Amino acid sequence: MSLNYIERAETWLSNSFDKETVATVKEMISKGSNELEDAFYKNLEFGTGGLRGVMGIGTNRINKYTVGMATQGFANYLLASFPEKEDPAVAIAFDNRTNSSYFAEITAEVFTANGFKVYLFEQLRPTPELSFAIRHYKCVGGVMLTASHNPKEYNGYKVYWDDGAQVTAPHDSNIIKEVLKVENPSMVKFQGDKSKIEIIGKETDEAYLNAILSLTLSSELITKENDLKIVYTPLHGTGVKMVPEALKRIGFKNIINVPEQDINDGNFPTVKYPNPEDPEALKMAIERANQTGAHIVMATDPDADRLGIAVRDLNGEMILLNGNQMAALLTYYILERRKEKGLLTEFEGKEGYMVKTIVTTDLMKSICDSYKVDLFNVLTGFKFIAQVVREQEDKRFFIAGGEESYGFNVGEFVRDKDAVISSCFVAEAAIWAKSKGLTLYELLLQIYQEFGFYKEHLISITKKGKDGVEKIDKMMQRFRESPPQKLDGSQVVLIHDYLKSQTVDNISDLRYKITLPKSNVIQFVCSDNTVVSVRPSGTEPKIKFYFGVKTDINSVQEYEVANRELSKKLERLAEQISSI
């Protein structure tokens, strides 16, 4: 048996750790359990976005020491990156998870000990409001304490740059290097200066809400028809205050809550998994909608950057829309509405554009092409959308952008996905559709008829622990060494390998360079427009399979048959790809 993890555990018996931690580690060592190995077999990886892991004692856990070491490394890098700043500042926010506020305080103490001014939110706030605050207070960076939609035992530490976006190259890898230099807690400045902490709240909320109000495209329609009934649930998280308030300020009056889920509780007592992508998470909200006759259901994840929605179908039944469908609806609404208002192609002398990720529906591209609006295609992760915004901000204006994992954003003042803004635009789109005699569902069917019926499916396979990482690596290796020649009978014509930065054209046998940054993603494109993408998650112990298929429909009546056929095709694809 390897002694590496035991040796690593024994380093936690020094005076750098509190008595309770030392006693717990001693007990773990004496028992020699699997828990000890999993807690200490490696250092919790500070990835390109920060930390995310199970809370507890150990080098492979989220705790005050791993958070403190991460903060010290990040602080060191910020000081080196902004030497001209005499009094550099950072913003810190946290969600409802167990220990999030405690970890936020630790983070604030370490930053102030390193000479930073800290803008610390008084209570839990959404991730997008942290992004806004970084720009609002002219900070050099920021930290959000959240594990997003992960299970209750997780927490995380998301790192932001001075533009309010999660860090990208070269800062991501450089921060990792600085964090790795902090080898033990004795190198962390834990004793901070509380006088350098400014508690923020209401003033920031007001500025953020006013910015959202400035984006609205249909205020006159909302004034006329503001009786739209919306059930909203924060799933025990940070959206509880800001989402209803934003909707009300725009003009919506019938916001119906789910009282049991308005309670901020890191144990998430009413849901197994606080993820708006999970149908079970919206079950209580849909029941509430059926009780009240609501038109739309909205649910945000714990840090309120992702939005899930349900709408009524042609039979009046509540059905869930996925992230691709929501992105397509919002893309169409925003572009068509801007066109109606004469704002489509220009804003303050700049040309507009949109952005999506490579695993997000190509329906967005079809819509953008129709309106002659450029669409950038970027790697998975909203930080890459924000990177385009930063690169283009002096030349063009960002209309909106989205990703299949229920993330969307409009405008430039937030540089991350924003469920608060998305909620407002979904409600706006519903009112606009109503003015055309349509429901949101009917609008979606109209989009399918006009631009093509695109249907997507996602499979996530969890592989926990040390063995899980190895299994995921082997799966990716198989796809590279033995790629499929056909998928569901259709020839694979292109293979995009984003790790090799290469596209292989199987028809001409030519190779093309991919100009996007390297990423462990492989994508198969078939002759019938089927697209299958495979990638390990960057934040969870999962490997993800994305399937996209397409057909054409000419009427609403054709939809059900086409939907069944595409569903069967997706099932066959999933079965085939999982056997490779």
Domains in the chain: ranges and CATH: 1-40 (no CATH), 42-204 (3.40.120.10), 229-451 (3.40.120.10), 453-578 (3.30.310)
| Catalytic residue, candidates 148, 422, 423, 533 | 148
- pLDDT given for residue 301 in this prediction: 97
- pLDDT given for residue 2 in this prediction: 46
Strands of the sheet with 197-200, listed across from one edge: 50-54, 154-161, 141-145, 89-94, 117-121, 197-200
Q: Is 148 a catalytic site residue?
A: yes
Beta strands in 211-341 (DSSP E): 229-233, 254-257, 296-300, 307-312, 318-321
- pLDDT given for residue 539 in this prediction: 63
CB-neighbour burial class of residue 377 (10 A; exposed 0-12, middle 13-18, buried 19+): middle
- pLDDT given for residue 466 in this prediction: 67
**Rounded Cα distance, 552 and 563, in Å:** 11
pLDDT mean for each 10 residues of the chain (580 residues): 76 93 93 85 86 94 97 98 95 97 98 98 98 98 95 96 95 93 94 97 98 96 89 98 97 96 96 94 98 97 97 97 98 97 79 96 97 96 96 94 97 97 98 96 98 95 79 92 95 96 95 94 96 85 93 95 97 90
Identity of residue 361 = T
Asked, as a colleague might, if the bond just before 170 is cis with ω within 30 of 0, I would say yes
**Residue 350 three-state SS:** strand
Length of the chain: 580
pTM: 0.94
The dihedral built from the CA positions of residue 404, 407, 408 and 412, taken in this order, carries a sign that is negative
Alpha helices in 225-282 (DSSP H): 239-250
β-pairing verdict for 254-257 and 453-462: unpaired
Residue 347 per-residue DSSP state: B
**Rounded Cα distance, 151 and 158, in Å:** 17
Beta strands in 416-484 (DSSP E): 453-462
Residues 155, 173 contacting (CB under 8 angstroms): no
560's enclosing H/E stretch is: helix 559-578
- pLDDT given for residue 207 in this prediction: 98
Angle at Cα 258 formed by Cα 256 and Cα 261, nearest 5°? 145
**Residue 526 three-state SS:** strand
Longest dimension (CA), the chain: 72
Angle at Cα 459 formed by Cα 454 and Cα 461, nearest 5°? 165
- pLDDT given for residue 538 in this prediction: 67
Instruction: Phi first, then psi: give them for residue 258, nearest 5 degrees.
Output: -115, 95
